[in-house]
Structure 1
Amino acid sequence: MDMIELDGVAGGGQLLRTALSLALCTGTAFTMRNIRATRSRPGLLRQHLTAVQAAAAIGNARVHGAELGATSIRFEPGDVAPGDYNFALGTAGSTMLVLQTLLPALWHAGGSSRLRLEGGTHNPMAPSADFIADTFLPVLARMGVRATLSLERPGFYPAGGGAVDVVVEPCASMSQLVLDTRGPLESIEATVLLSALEASIGRRELAVLAERFDLPEDRQHFRSVRPAIGPGNALMVRVQHASHAETFTGHGERGVPAEVVAERLARQARAYLDATTACVGEHLADQLLLPMALAGGGSFTTHVASDHLRTNATLIQKFVEVDIDVLPVDDAAWRVVVTG
């Protein structure tokens, strides 16, 4: 079995998750050292360890060194087996990051799979369940991947306790996708998700977002979590253009006024809206490289070419024979081209 030597010092958990996904899809083993070495808490946290363990479970892999705090592991994949799987983080760590690790291997498997993931669903340092359901999976569907996500129960930091159910169908072949233009703006909607907190907090957040984006009542949504497992607050702005939808997520913080939380989210969405020549948002751009590489090509424009995107591109090219070019379009956009 081929073995790739990787150094994780240039990135965080995303590099490990990408390596796990591609190892399962290509049958290539890897060792990674210096995992999250520059972070305040280096090595594997619970969500990273769960991703490793889950990847090993669905891919019949042999793993060496996987434990909390470990800064190096060896991962030797076997055959990916479709089936019914249940993975619980035991913390408020992100279930969505575990899901993104497993998805490519499962859509390459020979049958349908069902996943139940328990833990955090709306985390400040990870894509939210709403982003995955409303932005990421619809883009994958345009590439031929059939997967659905149902949010059974939201989970927030620090209590966790969330649960999602995901169904993934096999994908015999993927289509290459070009996301160069977003088309005319069709709608903007704001949603507040609140658990075990005063309803007035969510109302104040919605008021700010309604003012910033001139939203009518039917574009403002309030979701209360019942029964509540612990306090939590997330807010989303969904921007629908004719050819693409983006979901932006903000998170309430203890001691930070609701208005400040909403203003931060509004600025994030506004930065995307003002970059009129870019189709894809910053976070989706990071996540599209891997499926496009597996599809053998594709391209998109984005308003931010992040360090995450560039380091992820370098790692992907160690597993898959593709070229990934990041080219300036103008002062407000980049074009990312994946060529097989």
Structure 2
Amino acid sequence: MSEDVIVIDGSYLEGGGQIVRTSIALSAITQKPVKIINIRKKRKNKGLSYQHIACVKAVKKLCNADVDGLYVGSEELTFYPNKISPKSFKLDIGTAGSISLVIQTLLPISAVIKKPTTITITGGTDVKNAPPIDYMKNVVLKVLSCVGVDANIEVLKRGFYPEGGGVVKLTLKPSKIKEIELIEHSEDKKVEGIAYAQNLTDDIPKRMRKSCSELLMKNGYLPNIKLENSKGISTGAGIVLWCDTVGESCLGEKGLRSEIVGKMAAERLLEELKSGMALDKYMGDQIIPFLAMGKGRVGVSKITNHTRTNIYVVENFFDVKFEIEEYNENGCNGHIIKTEG
């Protein structure tokens, strides 16, 4: 292992936990140690939270890493990876911290593992400021299959803030990352989705689906939205939609009528689809590590600070440069992200 430690500034641009997640994953893949400073320095609650610690612990387990600074509130972390040794294990975030973000951290490691591994994660499946688990399962995995990622997500229980209690099984299989060329949306008019509630009345998912479906049909789309009502230790509701490789969602909250939740999800999806690009703004940042490994070009509706932040981190680990261009062809209005080098 090289003695040169890559230093990443955790306060760069949006300065969030994604810097930690991407840095740790790429450290394991490249076998290059990394030191992350100023972790979440601009945030009200600075430093590492339970969710970030869970991400680091998951990767640490897969590569027998040595870690300094792994505690809640830590603003500096050094990660020394060792040889990746895939093993199946269970991980409890300990709060309603996002399971999706742990999965986001682990997915790139499919590029270097030699045998399948299953990680069972307990925490939040549907929480604020994180991708819902159904988005990960139905959009992220679909897009990443185009670059060669072989993975599976099985939702065993849902978990909402503050109790959590969701359980998800992630299976990673050895994957050969390949070049991708995915610019424009397929123009598929079928919108699939799931309207779900836990520990609430059956009418809530139905009302979300009805208002959502009406707006989608009014705009020429064909909705096929499933209903789910479950029991668990936490209470919540939401709706996730996807149209081929583009997804959106809305999480229920107290005081927000079910009809409004459904309508908001539909409006958000229609706004993403209006760009005509293959990927939504959330997928735009998640694809970056895979673009670095496999090269290619993708079309994205919008370039976010999350995307630019991920580019900053990835360029520190790989001999690659990213270019972002505006794209206005065939009625599309968005951006292309491509690799150089």
TM-score (structure 2 length as normaliser): 0.93
Once the two structures are TM-superposed, the CA of residue 262 in structure 1 deviates from its matched residue by 2.4
Once the two structures are TM-superposed, the CA of residue 217 in structure 1 deviates from its matched residue by 9.8
What percentage of aligned pairs have identical amino acids? 27
Contact 1:190–1:210, Cα closer than 8 Å, also in 2: no
CA distance in 2, matches of 1:218, 1:99: 28
Once the two structures are TM-superposed, the CA of residue 206 in structure 1 deviates from its matched residue by 1.4
Q: Residues 191-215 of structure 1, C-alpha deviation per residue, up to 9 Å, x if partnerless? A: 2110011223222211210110118
Q: Which residue of 2 is the match for residue 257 of structure 1? A: 257
Contact 2:111–2:177, Cα closer than 8 Å, also in 1: no
CA distance in 2, matches of 1:89, 1:219: 33
Q: Which residue of 2 is the match for residue 5 of structure 1? A: 7
Residue 183 in structure 1 maps to residue 186 in structure 2: yes
CA distance in 2, matches of 1:193, 1:45: 28
Aligned residue for 1:312, secondary structure, equals: helix
Matches within 5 A, 1:204-243: 204-214=207-217, 219-225=224-230, 227-240=231-244
Once the two structures are TM-superposed, the CA of residue 339 in structure 1 deviates from its matched residue by 2.8
Residue 326 in structure 1 maps to residue 328 in structure 2: no
Q: Which residue of 1 is the match for residue 167 of structure 2? A: 163
Matches within 5 A, 1:63-82: 63-82=67-86
Contact 1:106–1:113, Cα closer than 8 Å, also in 2: no
Q: Residues 248-302 of structure 1, C-alpha deviation per residue, up to 9 Å, x if partnerless? A: 12100112222332232222101112112x111000011000111122x111111
Q: Which residue of 2 is the match for residue 193 of structure 1? A: 196
TM-score (structure 1 length as normaliser): 0.93
Q: Which residue of 2 is the match for residue 266 of structure 1? A: 266
Contact 1:147–1:167, Cα closer than 8 Å, also in 2: yes
CA distance in 1, matches of 2:233, 2:262: 23
Matches within 5 A, 1:92-103: 92-103=96-107
Aligned residue for 1:313, secondary structure, equals: helix
CA distance in 1, matches of 2:311, 2:322: 6
Contact 1:82–1:110, Cα closer than 8 Å, also in 2: yes
Aligned residue for 1:250, secondary structure, equals: strand
Q: Which residue of 2 is the match for residue 152 of structure 1? A: 156
Contact 1:124–1:251, Cα closer than 8 Å, also in 2: yes
Contact 1:21–1:101, Cα closer than 8 Å, also in 2: yes
Which of the residues 296, 299, 302 maps onto 2:300? 302
Structure 2 residue runs of 5 or longer lacking an equivalent are: none
Contact 2:11–2:40, Cα closer than 8 Å, also in 1: yes
Once the two structures are TM-superposed, the CA of residue 126 in structure 1 deviates from its matched residue by 1.1
Q: Which amino acid aligns with 2:282?
A: H
Residue 90 in structure 1 maps to residue 88 in structure 2: no
Q: Which residue of 2 is the match for residue 292 of structure 1? A: 291
Aligned residue for 1:214, secondary structure, equals: helix
Which of the residues 42, 48, 53 maps onto 1:49? 53
CA distance in 1, matches of 2:113, 2:242: 32
Once the two structures are TM-superposed, the CA of residue 17 in structure 1 deviates from its matched residue by 0.5
Once the two structures are TM-superposed, the CA of residue 107 in structure 1 deviates from its matched residue by 3.6
CA distance in 2, matches of 1:218, 1:317: 40
Q: Kindly tell me: are residues 134 and 220 of structure 1, through their superposed partners in 2, closer, same or farther at Cα, counting changes over 3 Å?
A: closer
Q: Which amino acid aligns with 2:131?
A: P
Residue 104 in structure 1 maps to residue 108 in structure 2: yes
Q: Which residue of 2 is the match for residue 275 of structure 1? A: 275
Q: Residues 232-251 of structure 1, C-alpha deviation per residue, up to 9 Å, x if partnerless? A: 112011213xxxx2221210
Q: Which amino acid aligns with 1:289?
A: I
Aligned residue for 2:200, secondary structure, equals: coil
Contact 1:190–1:209, Cα closer than 8 Å, also in 2: no
Q: Which moved more, 1:91-100 or 1:195-204?
A: 195-204
Contact 1:107–1:168, Cα closer than 8 Å, also in 2: no
Q: Which amino acid aligns with 1:209?
A: C
Once the two structures are TM-superposed, the CA of residue 131 in structure 1 deviates from its matched residue by 1.1
Q: Kindly tell me: are residues 187 and 326 of structure 1, through their superposed partners in 2, closer, same or farther at Cα, counting changes over 3 Å?
A: same
Once the two structures are TM-superposed, the CA of residue 41 in structure 1 deviates from its matched residue by 1.2
Contact 2:246–2:278, Cα closer than 8 Å, also in 1: no
Q: Which amino acid aligns with 1:258?
A: S
Once the two structures are TM-superposed, the CA of residue 56 in structure 1 deviates from its matched residue by 1.2
Residue 137 in structure 1 maps to residue 141 in structure 2: yes
